[in-house]
Amino acid sequence: MDHYYQKDISGCGVIGIINKSGKRFAGDMIKKGMCIMNDRGNGLGSGFAAYGIYPDFKECYALHIMYHNDSSLDEAEKYINKNYKLEKKEEIPITKVKEIGPAPHLLRYFVTPNRRKADKELQELSDDDFVVKTVMKINSESGGGYVFSSGKNMGAFKGVGYPKDMADFYQIERYEGYIWTAHNRFPTNTPGWWGGAHPLTLLDWSIIHNGEISSYGINKRYLEMFGYKLTLLTDTEVVAYLLDLLVRRHGLSIKLACTVLAVPFWKDIDILSNEEKKMLTAIRQVYGSALLNGPFAFILGHSRGMVGLNDRVKLRPLVAGLKDDFAYMASEESAIMEVCPNPEKVWAPKAGDPLIFSLDEEVYI
């Protein structure tokens, strides 16, 4: 009987690179690392996120919006013009790629909240909450417009296609950032479409994810209690919004927020010291609806760093590497070796234990 080699690729591919000294580097590096994992996707989604790419507009929120019809563009721009000071509006530069089918209309807006003209419900909000309200409103009410990036001095670039094609489509090499993340999608129980491609973002949070969030239903209902509207038809959307809720709104550290998302099993909590047991018991009681179940490995990007996290059993691969000022995370060691042939260290983070890389302190101060 013939035997055929079959590779178990465990779904999507992820990669993240940070220069901890804050030095910006071009997108060709992340493209190279992502494309070596081409067989982890099926062409139904890929994307990139980069930090530090808009230094001339670093005080503005950069809204990347995809429009699937003219009426959604009219609705969104009417809202933006009423509630924001518009510093610049432009088409997101693209190059036509034959492998990529019909694309939505892609525009970006550099804006700051304008409370003098804003809707009454927005006037008392912080700038970040102002923008979150905007994202939720456009995504749920415009009838075909989706804000796929909304942070300061950062941007997401994503759609339906393989990584190389998407990188060429968005001209990724022309951008320079100090953090880059990229994703190659193999959708299983959610559709492959432009808005559902990764990264999933909110403000400066960006998430790329390999796996499945089987707790999506309870996570979604929990987030809706706090005003979040989930419209992108993918389970990964809950991770971006949960981090915004836990870190920005509830004031948890990133490390503690990751503990909430991947809190230890009860059997593991029971053998800990009384102090640790008390803290983790409280986390499970207060934030039980924010716990993520299912197999996952994700990389979180934000303006000050990059975080990797596996589920509590490590059912999806994630490896890390270091070289000089650079730190790397990826689904495969091959992706790290492709962009850093001689790393000082390569290792696999432990299950449920967040791996946190931050900018050097003097950089963000």
Active site residues: 12
The letter for the amino acid at 327 is A
C-alpha dihedral, 327 to 332 to 337 to 342, nearest 10°: 60
Nearest partner of 95 among 43, 173, 148, 152, judged by Cα: 173
Task: Provide the H-helix boundaries in the chain.
Answer: 28-35, 70-83, 127-141, 163-170, 216-224, 237-243, 254-261, 266-269, 274-286, 333-339, 361-364
Q: Return the half-sphere exposure (C-beta side, CA atoms, 13 A cut-off) of residue 50.
A: 27
Is the separation of the CB atoms in 194 and 92 below 8 Å? no
Nearest partner of 48 among 69, 71, 30, judged by Cα: 30
Is the separation of the CB atoms in 290 and 316 below 8 Å? no
Is the separation of the CB atoms in 109 and 63 below 8 Å? yes
| Cβ partners under 8 Å of residue 205, min gap 6 | 151, 240, 243, 244, 300, 301, 302
C-alpha dihedral, 235 to 240 to 244 to 246, nearest 10°: 60
How many beta carbons lie within 10 A of that of residue 147, not counting itself? 25
- Three-state DSSP class for residue 89: strand
Task: Provide the H-helix boundaries in 264-317.
Answer: 266-269, 274-286
Q: 61 to each of 23, 77, 105, 138, 254, how far by Cα in Å? A: 21, 15, 20, 15, 22
State CA 149 to chain mean position distance.
9
Enter the tokens of residue 150. 């909304």
d(CA 8, CA 47): 23
